Amino acid sequence: MKIWMINHYAGSPAQAWSTRHVSLAAELVRRGHRVTLFASNFNHSLRTCRAADSDEHVHWEQVEGVDIGWLATPKYSGNSLGRFWNMLVFAFRVLQVPKHCHRRPDVIYGSTPSLFAALAGLILAQRLGVAFVLEIRDIWPQTLIDMGMSRFHPFVVLSAAIERHLYRHADAIVTLMPDAAPHLVALGTARERVHWIPNGVNFGLVPPVAPPQQKDILEVIYAGAYGGGNNPEIILDAAAKLRQRGGPALSFRLVGNGLGKASLVAKKAALGLANVSVEPPVPKSQVYALLSQADIAIVPFMRLAVHRYGVSSNKLFDYMAVAKPIVLAGLSSKHYVEDAGCGIECSPDEPDALADALSALAGMSPQERWEMGLRGRRYAEQNHDFARLALKLEVILARAHHDHLTTAPGGEKSNLMKANTVPQVRIDRIAQDRSALDDV
């Protein structure tokens, strides 16, 4: 198949940003498909442009066999009108993609959280007469409402209308949240069109894991965004609680970027936490070496009602991949850490509970923490390897392409079927490959 992926905020392993789509696309390429990914040339996290020539409407790069078209979009800072304009410009660039890429796709895979980008993908698919598969990375605008934005805000009202339109017209929907189906069905989609593919790990980037060494001071790490649904400030509160209690001896590294960085740095200074460092993000290709240095890893979430649909955190599976014991401070419908037996889960807004969890892990022997980390590593290998997840995606894309063609009207159906359809035997073979992996 010829597949176009559209994700406003996609990145490559050389950048400190999400690499989900490059990883999935690379696996699809290895399985014989041709994948082109379109993303913004402006990095939302670092506030820098990827392409040197900002006058280009599209800058081409190839990564792991995946053709990436970085679409030119304006710079902005903060969650401002500039970001809204950036979203609109990216959507407009997506609609112009056929001018720059003359290979007609068989299916378009459009991803949120930018609903405008996904909508542009749907419009483009309808223009070209091809299947459209929607990926829901975050439930907008509900997440914005849970974080304090009024449901009557014009942006929220517009986003809700786009959300309903996408759910009703996508040939299939992939969600990263394990329990999002009821929400999607309530807004107009059919249950059988909803599929769960969580975040994962490109194990080709992960160095060999090794048992931890005995240390006088254990290193605790958080690597992720400062803001959004994350709550790294609770780590500072827990560090202050531990200091008041007189132990254990821990150092904290917070590695990342985001709108909450300034307040994080100010709070660290106000609390006088000399054992906490706030550091800039590192490229995905380097993050696993960084994580391997730590002894304990933290995933702190805000308490949000939208988490009743589940979460799928990149950092969580990255921590598992390097066999680190994990403290997950958050509430979710799915308990990854408990299911894997690789750490402790606690409340998202109780510093004392986080401090207790850290003390419990610090009080274990290195061997106990190593065995806990290995359980997480095995869980990630079995459930979150992008090689496995790409097989599931391949089935969904092939079925959407096939079903779209077989339901095309009149004479168009027969012509398209003769020229482009994925044979049923091909779909069955893909499904068999996926089933074989699921049984491992």
Which two three-digit tokens encode residue 41?
Answer: 């040339």
179-204 pLDDT, tens digit each: 889 889 988 889 999 999 999 999 99
Mean pLDDT of all residues belonging to the chain: 86
Rounded to whole angstroms, what are the CA distances from 161 to 119, 157, 158, 168, 366?
11, 6, 5, 11, 52
What whole-number distance in Å separates Cα of residue 331 and Cα of residue 349? 10
**Is residue 103 packed enough to be buried (19+ CB in 10 Å), middle (13-18) or exposed (0-12)?**
exposed
User: pLDDT at position 52, please?
Assistant: 46
User: pLDDT at position 142, please?
Assistant: 77
Q: Are strands 58-63 and 218-223 parallel, antiparallel or unpaired?
A: unpaired
Four-residue CA torsion sign, 306, 312, 315, 320: positive
pLDDT greater than 50 at residue 77: yes
Higher per-residue confidence, 286 vs 252:
252
What whole-number distance in Å separates Cα of residue 158 and Cα of residue 427? 37
Q: Cis ω on the peptide bond leading into residue 283 (within 30° of 0)?
A: no
User: pLDDT at position 439, please?
Assistant: 39
Strand partners, 62: 67
Rounded to whole angstroms, what are the CA distances from 148 to 83, 144, 298, 301?
18, 7, 25, 16
Question: Strand, helix or coil at 35?
Answer: strand
DSSP assignment string, 107-133: EEEEE-S-HHHHHHHHHHHHHHT-EEE
- 307: pLDDT confidence band, cut at 50, 70 and 90? confident
Q: What is the mean pLDDT of residues 333-342?
A: 91
Indicate the range of 143-157, 173-187, 342-356, 361-375 predicted with least confidence.
Answer: 143-157
Longest dimension (CA), the chain: 78
pLDDT greater than 80 at residue 34: yes
Same fold, 2-200 and 204-383: yes
| Among the four given CATH numbers 2.60.40.3950, 3.40.50.300, 3.40.50.2000, 2.40.160.20, the one describing domain 2-200 | 3.40.50.2000
| Among the four given CATH numbers 3.40.50.10470, 3.40.50.2000, 3.40.50.2020, 3.30.565.10, the one describing domain 204-383 | 3.40.50.2000
Four-residue CA torsion sign, 302, 308, 314, 318: positive
Question: HSE (CB half, 13 Å, CA atoms) of 6?
Answer: 32
User: pLDDT at position 16, please?
Assistant: 58
Q: In what order do the strands lie in the sheet with 34-40?
A: 58-63, 66-71, 34-40, 2-6, 107-111, 131-136, 172-175, 194-196
* Domain residue limits, the chain: 2-200, 204-383
User: pLDDT at position 305, please?
Assistant: 77
Cβ–Cβ < 8 Å for 350, 333: no
User: pLDDT at position 17, please?
Assistant: 65
12-21 pLDDT, tens digit each: 777 656 789 9
Give this prediction's pTM: 0.86
38-50 pLDDT, tens digit each: 999 887 666 566 6
Which two three-digit tokens encode residue 135?
Answer: 């990926």
